[in-house]
C-alpha cells in the first residue's frame, strides 16, 4: 500500500470517528449493558445481582410470556402495515393531480405527521371509547372485547402513520415524469392497469423503504397501546414492548432485558429478510 492510500484511510477513519462515538455511546454500549443485565438475576429489592448466564435467555425467549407478546406484536404488524400502505397509496394517488385547492387536501392528509402519538391516540380513544366514543359500539374494533381490542389500537396506529406514508408516496408519484404517464395513456392503459404496471413499479424504492420502516414502527409501538388499552383487556394487547415496559420492578429487570434483546434480534432479522426479499423486486430508475 502506498503512502497516499494510507493517508486517505487515516483521514477516512478520522472523519468517521465522531459518528462512531455517538453510536458507541448511545447504541452499542446500552446494548452491551442490556445483554449483561440479561445474564443476571436480581432479587425483589434489587440488592443482589446474581450471574445466571444464558439460561435466562433460554427460559425467557422460549417462555409463554415472550411468545404470546411476540404473537400479539406480529398480529399488530400484520394489521397495521398492509392497511397503512394501501390507504397511503390510495390517498396519494387520489391527491396527485393538478386541481385548484388540492394543496389543502395534501395538508389535511399529511397532518398526522405533525401530531404526536399521544395526541392521535387520545383523539382515537375519544372516538372508539366503549362508554363515550362515537364509534364505541362498533363490534369489529371494540376495545372491551379481548378478541377485537388490538384492531382498535391498530386502526389508531394506521391513522397515526398515514401522514408519513402519504407524504412519501406522493413525493415518489410526483417524481414520475408526466411524459411516462402520458405515454401509458396513449398506449391504452386504463387507470388500474397503469397503477399496477407502471406507477407501482416506478415508486417501488419508496414502497420498500415504507414497508421496512412501518414494520419497525409496528414492532416498537408502545404509546398508542398504553394510552388506548393499557395492555388490556385481559392482556390482549400486551405486545413485547409493553411487556418490557411492565418489567420495571427489580426482580423482573433481567427478564425485561432479555425480551428487549430478543425484540431487537427479531426486528433486525425481519428487516434483513425484507431487504433481501424486496430488493430483487425493486426498480431503481435511471
Partner 1 sequence: MPGSAPGTTESDRQVSEIIFEGVTKRFGDVTAVDDLDLRVEHEEFMVLLGPSGCGKTTVLRMVAGLDSITSGTLRIGDRVVNDVEAKHRNVSMVFQSYALYPHLSVFKNIESPLIPRDMTVEGEATPRRLHPHERAERVRAIAETLGLSELLQRKPVALSGGQRQRVALARAIVSRPAAFLMDEPLSNLDAKLRAQTRVELADLHKRLATTFLYVTHDQVEAMTMADRLAILDRGRLQQVGTPRDVYDRPRNLFVARFIGSPPMNAVPATIRIDLGEPWADTGAGRIRLPLLTAALADGASVVIGVRPEDVHRDAGTIDATVRAVEWLGPERHVMCDVAGTTVTIREAAEKRDPQPGERITVGCDPQHVHVFDAQTTERLE
Residues that bind partner 1 (CB under 8 A): 177, 179-180, 182-190, 193, 198, 201-202, 204, 283, 285-286
Q: Which is nearer to partner 1, 186 or 276 (CB)?
A: 186
The whole-angstrom separation of Cα 225 and Cα 227 is 6
We find the least distance from the C-beta atom of residue 122 to partner 1, in angstroms, to be: 43
Q: Which is nearer to partner 1, 64 or 179 (CB)?
A: 179
Q: Which is nearer to partner 1, 12 or 175 (CB)?
A: 175
The whole-angstrom separation of Cα 162 and Cα 35 is 35
Backbone angles phi, psi at 51, to 5 degrees: -75, 125
Which among 226, 221, 201 has a CA at the least distance from the CA of 278? 201
We find the least distance from the C-beta atom of residue 207 to partner 1, in angstroms, to be: 13
Q: Which is nearer to partner 1, 44 or 281 (CB)?
A: 281
Residue with cell 406522493: 170
We find the least distance from the C-beta atom of residue 175 to partner 1, in angstroms, to be: 12
Strand partners of residue 49: 42
CB 256 within 8 Å of CB 248: yes
Backbone angles phi, psi at 41, to 5 degrees: -125, 140
We find the least distance from the C-beta atom of residue 141 to partner 1, in angstroms, to be: 38
Residue with cell 470517528: 17
Task: List Cα–Cα distances, 229 to 15, 76, 78, in angstroms.
Answer: 47, 14, 19
196 DSSP assignment: I
Q: Which is nearer to partner 1, 30 or 201 (CB)?
A: 201
Q: Which is nearer to partner 1, 37 or 172 (CB)?
A: 172
We find the least distance from the C-beta atom of residue 283 to partner 1, in angstroms, to be: 4
We find the least distance from the C-beta atom of residue 165 to partner 1, in angstroms, to be: 21
Amino acid at each position: 500500500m502506498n503512502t497516499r492510500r494510507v493517508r486517505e484511510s487515516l483521514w477516512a477513519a478520522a472523519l468517521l470517528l465522531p459518528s462512531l462515538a455517538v453510536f458507541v455511546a448511545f447504541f452499542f454500549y446500552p446494548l452491551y449493558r442490556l445483554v449483561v443485565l440479561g445474564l443476571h438475576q436480581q432479587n425483589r429489592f434489587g440488592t443482589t445481582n446474581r450471574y445466571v448466564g444464558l439460561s435466562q435467555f433460554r427460559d425467557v425467549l422460549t417462555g409463554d410470556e415472550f411468545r404470546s407478546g411476540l404473537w400479539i406484536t406480529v398480529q399488530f404488524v400484520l394489521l397495521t402495515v398492509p392497511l397503512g400502505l394501501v390507504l397511503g397509496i390510495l390517498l396519494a394517488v387520489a391527491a396527485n393531480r393538478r386541481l385548484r385547492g388540492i394543496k389543502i387536501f395534501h395538508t389535511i392528509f399529511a397532518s398526522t405527521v405533525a401530531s404526536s402519538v399521544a395526541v392521535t391516540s387520545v383523539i382515537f380513544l375519544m372516538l372508539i371509547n366503549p362508554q363515550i366514543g362515537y364509534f364505541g359500539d362498533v363490534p369489529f374494533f371494540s376495545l372491551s372485547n379481548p378478541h377485537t381490542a388490538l384492531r382498535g389500537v391498530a386502526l389508531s396506529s394506521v391513522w397515526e402513520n398515514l401522514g408519513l406514508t402519504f407524504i412519501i408516496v406522493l413525493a415518489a408519484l410526483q417524481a414520475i415524469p408526466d411524459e411516462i404517464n402520458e405515454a401509458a395513456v396513449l398506449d391504452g392503459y386504463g387507470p388500474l392497469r397503469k397503477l399496477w404496471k407502471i406507477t407501482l413499479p416506478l415508486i417501488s424504492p419508496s414502497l420498500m423503504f415504507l414497508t421496512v420502516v412501518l414494520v419497525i414502527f409496528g414492532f416498537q409501538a408502545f404509546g398508542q397501546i398504553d394510552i388506548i388499552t393499557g395492555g388490556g383487556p385481559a392482556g390482549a394487547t400486551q405486545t413485547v414492548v409493553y411487556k418490557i415496559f411492565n418489567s420495571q420492578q427489580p426482580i423482573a429487570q433481567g427478564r425485561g432485558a432479555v425480551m428487549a434483546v430478543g425484540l431487537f434480534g427479531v426486528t433486525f432479522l425481519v428487516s434483513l429478510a425484507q431487504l433481501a426479499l424486496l430488493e430483487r423486486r425493486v426498480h431503481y430508475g435511471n
